[in-house]
Amino acid sequence: MHNINQAPSAQSPKSSIPSPWGVGAGRFAPSPSGDLHFGNLRTAVLAWASARSSGRAFYMRVEDVDTQRSSHESACRQLEDLAQLGLDWDGDVLYQSTRFEAYEQALAQLPHYECYCSRKDIVHAASAPHSIPGQYPGTCRDLDEDERRRRRHALAQHNRVPALRLRADVEHWRIHDLYAGFVDGEVDDMILRRGGQDPDWAYNLAVVVDDAFQGIDQVVRGDDLLSSAPRQGYLAHLLGVEAPAFVHVPLVINTQGRRLAKRDGAVTFRDMEAQGGRGSVFPCIAASLGINARTPEELVEKFHVQSIPREPYVWRNRFPKP
């Protein structure tokens, strides 16, 4: 098995289903900003089952590049919950916080420029006529060197550094998703490294670099991330790596139609186990997929990624019946 950087407290359960190296891989990559809830756990099960049922390896990755929101304690709790749920993974856990040198190397391959805009500047510029909502309008793209030097100096007076943005040469990029088909998404001069006093690497860059590093060829994740896939596909193209096969799965929502959150009741793994007893959570996740299974091994025998429900699953603050 491939050995990846791992924190001493995050032990990988031994794989119980053979996943020969070299046939591709799937992954689950939570952000360690709190306990996983039913929706997160359901996506993790879908990613695991999609990999295992297709003979792929399965990796666990902690996306802790956001140093303001990430905590090692949260990462450990998440990994413990996933192991208790019955999921296993190959190799050791990959922590993005150990990968900054790799992101630096990728940055050097990408055309980019410094951006001195504040969030307020970007919001104001994006509201101008003919601008594309949510996209960076290129304010800093073509500044001359004297102006860059002036703005860089102004930031330095506050111990801040500028953000780094991709100099994109396309406005759209096409990817393919198993359920959505071909998706043409807008591409702008996206952030590669954030600015400020403690600059963090951007999610879009980190995820592409790490998927390539781990040999990920299947990405199963919530469909709220579908809009980011074209940007990631474009970055993969620029870095000379193949984009993975995308499978964006429906989310779990509450009865008001909003994405499930911890405020919706006892939805974390630990709360649910306290409510239903040890071993009660996995059968409920399987039931939400329309499968009667009490263990991951039983689920993967019955699982096919094409047959999962395509509509969001509505959480009604009670366990689905196995």
**Residue 136 counted as an annotated binding residue:** yes
Q: What pLDDT band is residue 110 in, cutting at 50, 70 and 90?
A: very high
**Which of 161, 193, 225 represents a domain boundary (last residue)?**
193
User: Residue 147's domain is classified under what CATH number?
Assistant: 3.90.800.10
**Which of 173, 193, 213 represents a domain boundary (last residue)?**
193
Bridge partners (DSSP) of residue 314 are: 253
Interval 235-258: pLDDT, tens: 999 999 999 999 999 999 988 889
- Residue 206 contacts residue 228 (beta carbons within 8 Å): no
Lowest mean pLDDT among 65-79, 179-193, 205-219: 65-79
User: Residue 52's domain is classified under what CATH number?
Assistant: 3.40.50.620
Q: What pLDDT band is residue 178 in, cutting at 50, 70 and 90?
A: very high
**Residue 30 counted as an annotated binding residue:** yes
What residue has token string 């780094």?
Answer: 164
**Residue 63 counted as an annotated binding residue:** yes
CA nearest to 302, candidates 314, 291, 310:
291
**Which of 147, 167, 193 represents a domain boundary (last residue)?**
193
Domain housing 145: 111-193
CA nearest to 82, candidates 291, 305, 285:
285
Does residue 165 fall inside a structural domain? Answer: yes
Query: pLDDT averaged over the chain?
Result: 87
Asked if residue 134 and residue 88 are part of one domain, the reply reads: no
CB atoms within 10 A of CB 25: 23
Does residue 241 fall inside a structural domain? Answer: no
**Residue 284 counted as an annotated binding residue:** no
**Residue 38 counted as an annotated binding residue:** no
**Residue 179 counted as an annotated binding residue:** no
Interval 9-30: pLDDT, tens: 333 443 333 333 346 999 999 9
| Domain count across the chain | 2
Residue type, 317: N
The tokens describing 131, both together, are 């601008």
Does residue 16 fall inside a structural domain? Answer: no
**Residue 59 counted as an annotated binding residue:** no
Residue type, 235: L
**Residue 29 counted as an annotated binding residue:** yes
- SS3 of 63-114: the string is CCCCCCCCCHHHHHHHHHHHHHHCCCCCCCCEEHHHCHHHHHHHHHHCCEEE
DSSP 122: H
**Residue 298 counted as an annotated binding residue:** no
**Residue 221 counted as an annotated binding residue:** yes
Does residue 210 fall inside a structural domain? Answer: no
